[in-house]
Structure 1
């Protein structure tokens, strides 16, 4: 039996529900067992405003033929479509139990027009759902369905504009990420045609084709939709992660080239931000050399933030990247290709235990990861920065991690974390005490993410007792 600490992402149904919560005028119908409907609790914890999720449950249960209670899928879809005149898209999300049951989504089902508006919502059945699909991949495909349903040929705007494809709602400071990207594009004279998916409604989705360029802030969710817009309507993409000053500058220059902006305007905007807002380059140059010398970092997370932070910490700060991984295994090949530019230890795994073993083996000075890596860092006694989703910390005052303002947030966090590393590490303290074979066998039974702490406690107990080695009895006593 294996101890399960958690998972990096939920099932595919949660990706669809997550997208529905991000888009205006969207309503999701969840086909699931009654006990599988735990998305409202997650939604309430993240929103903190008392609002209800745009969700209707269609429970799978043995029901009498003459009942009108929820449970008949087609009737539940019609009920969700007619509930509110503002519903423009109805997305069907099927839980793992529903997928494994073999129940097919409804075929050609036309939703009736709402009596007040006279307009019929669109039904997106998400027929591509399969058991075992993760929520990120499902959100990506659902967003592509939405874009395909609404995008239509339109003339390009008179002045340069961009579509911002960023993170979903309920994520880490998502609104702040969009706002920072919009601010920086505005400094160059590029307006924002639409933000997608956060806050996008039918009007924004229908005018996507008017933009000059698609700026992809969060590639995990926007990849398929922006490729469709590129292939079908010829709208180019900018996919460089806007993390760190180098990544932000590269993304802005790429967008400026597509929009045919004057080089002088772009230089003034970028250099002005480097002097006023971006603090990461100043921190890297002015901090004492010993802060960065021979220091290593291990990064684990999604796709965009893990790669963006890898670029920034290796190229701008000078840290050695001892490992960089992602839990998005369906993007493993693409991730390894990009990460190979700054580390030889790129990998993809959705097993927290394997990730913990890799971190322990790399013995980094700093760990940047998801909430699941917090205990690993505590066990190894190293600083930890929860910059990659899923993250448990939520700022009451939203702070971006992207753009030049985000580079200052990163500099502040690094300063606090690396100053801790300047203090002598435990390896420079008392010499390690040898372990008996029996004690090592007991240690192997401790979960990896707790093993470092268990080792330290046992060795401290052995020193207190004056024992020349850690025995099985001392190890067991140290755990009491």
Structure 2
């Protein structure tokens, strides 16, 4: 473990809580010290949820350390079972409970004797996995639990639905635009004549998990959450799954064609080509917009993309393949899935960065100085300091990235939203310069700042006056190039002569 002041993916228990709180009538007991229960506040604030978050902390304090925590944890489970009457209580370990080496599985078995609902332990290794991996594993575990329970009781339905149907797997609490994406996916499936059998975990009842095998196939829109459950269902019941994220015109069409192939292999006779063509030409504005003069002005501009695997890979393809934008660097913080990411983006970008160190991506952005960034909230902060615009495309995110209005990233409506995000993220024309003239720029003092710290070089009066004449949208770049030139040659002060020499050196 290492100390960090920014984490792209939270600790494992956050992933478990995201999944458990997504289900309907499921309660989580978190065995952790006071202070680890920030999930409740985070979910209430970001999701703007009117209801209390169904998570209770069973706190680790000095009494627990002295006497052990079995009695306290079991009492908390049985108390919540009586008060809330949940269908399932999930006991969530944390790093603290792992350090204490407590037998939480034994606690669960003891609590199950008195509880009326089901009780289970989230089986994740909190030292080896992060939030996303834990969420994926917890969802798979809950699905396995209720499939096994239904099979044991003889309640597992047999056969498929009469019409083609799908399970949408991976829509969860605190997911980036998940609710809007789910609405768009349901609309897409309805257009294709496919019934939605179940959506898990968001809003689902654990009692309905036994119906999952009735669907013709599973759709996993996000690589981070849902793949493990889909692979389990494929192994157990031979259910095919589609894991192509329908984000952007090309990938949405590829996803639909894969769905066509999957359901035709099971006896259906569908042809979605006409639907794809109609949506691409008349519903999605992205294909038309990419050929418009507005978008042509972006051709060849440099961009950096960074985020989770799903959104960073999809955005890289959209920028390079659909909008003609030069992706200099594409990166992800999902180091555990590095091979897949490299395979997806290598042909669409110059450089691939796999790192969960925000300093590394910040330094890379400062080095490249792209025209725009597409990343997380952290890259937005980096962009602010470097005066580079940033479109947020992935978690971790700010409350402003949980829009009240309808803004899906998936499907054909999603293609419109993505085109708007890309176009509006770039600095347009004289925008920055005009803001400066009229005194409307809120980061004027930051424009000349580098990513690390304030300049350690002095500028004389004439050089400073010359720098101030440079338009705001390129001033930061000019200042950084000049200072880099001066440091390499040992100058302690920047004069007009140094500025002109630096300009000659970079060929500007």
TM range, normalised to the smaller chain?
0.7 to 0.9
Quick one: which of 184, 190, 207 aligns to 1:203?
A: 207
Instruction: Report the CA distance shift for 1:385/1:462 in structure 2 as closer, same or farther (over 3 A).
Output: farther
Q: Which runs of 5+ in 1 are unaligned?
A: 115-119, 427-445, 476-480
Aligned partner of residue 285 in structure 1, secondary structure:
coil
SS in 2 for 1:194: strand
1:195-248 per-residue CA deviation (whole Å, 9 max, x = no partner) reads 111111123312111110111111211111100011111111111111101111
2:90 match: 91
Determine if the alignment matches structure 1 residue 144 to structure 2 residue 140: yes
CA shift for structure 1 position 145: 0.3
- The change in CA–CA distance for 1:213 and 1:3 in structure 2 (over 3 A counts) is closer
Equivalent position of 2:475 in the other structure: none
Residue 465 to residue 341, structure 1, CA distance change in 2 (3 Å)? closer
1:185 matched to 2:189? The reply is yes
Alpha-carbon shift at residue 63 of structure 1 (Å): 2.9
Change beyond 3 A, Cα 1:288–1:35: closer
Structure 1 window deviating more from structure 2 (15-24 vs 327-336): it is 327-336
The residue number in structure 2 matching 1:407 is 415
Structure 1 Cα separation of the partners of residues 450 and 170 of structure 2? 34
Residue 357 in structure 1 maps to residue 363 in structure 2: yes
Q: RMSD in angstroms over aligned alpha carbons?
A: 3.2
Higher alpha-carbon deviation: 367-376 or 270-279:
270-279
Q: C-alpha displacement at 1:3, in angstroms? A: 10
Task: Give me the whole-angstrom Cα distance separating, in 2, the residues matched to 1:450 and 1:312.
Answer: 31
TM (norm. structure 2) is: 0.80
- Structure 1 Cα separation of the partners of residues 420 and 257 of structure 2: 26
Q: Quick one: distance in 2 between partners of 1:140 and 1:460?
A: 57
Q: Indicate conservation of the 8 Å contact 1:294/1:320, yes or no.
A: yes
Name the CA distance, whole Å, in 1 between partners of 2:297 and 2:188.
Answer: 31
Q: CA deviation at 1:334?
A: 2.1
SS of alignment partner, residue 80 of structure 1: helix
Q: 1:340 and 2:346 equivalent?
A: yes
Which stretch shifts more, 145-154 or 322-331? 145-154
Matched residues in 2 for 1:130 and 1:204: separation? 29
Query: Alpha carbons of 1:340 and 1:84: their partners in 2 closer, same or farther (altered >3 Å)?
Result: same
Q: Gaps spanning 5+ residues in structure 2: where?
A: 434-447, 468-481, 496-508
Q: Alpha carbons of 1:258 and 1:300: their partners in 2 closer, same or farther (altered >3 Å)?
A: same
Pair 267,377 (structure 1): closer, same or farther in 2 beyond 3 Å: same
> How far apart are the structure 1 equivalents of 2:129 and 2:423?
39
Distance 1:246 1:461 in 2: 54
Alignment partners' CA distance in 1, 2:425 and 2:332? 22
Shift of residue 344, structure 1, vs aligned partner: 4.3
* Matching residue of 2:9: 9
Task: Give, in whole Å, the separation in 2 of the partners of 1:181 and 1:461.
Answer: 60
Task: Specify which of 230, 244, 250 is matched with residue 240 of structure 1.
Answer: 244
Distance (Å, rounded) in 2 between the aligned partners of 1:8 and 1:455 = 28
Please say if residues 356 and 448 of structure 1, whose CA atoms lie closer than 8 Å, have aligned partners that are also in contact: no
- Cα distance change on mapping 1:425 and 1:169 into 2, 3 Å: same
Query: How does 1:266-285 map onto structure 2 within 5 Å?
Result: 266-285=272-291
What SS does the corresponding residue of 1:166 show, helix, strand or coil? strand
Scaled by the length of structure 1, what TM-score is found? 0.84
The aligned runs of 1:58-77 (5 Å cut-off) are 58-63=58-63, 72-77=72-77
**Are the equivalent residues in 1 in contact too, given 2:169–2:219 (CA < 8 A)?**
yes
Q: Which residue is equivalent to 2:28?
A: 28
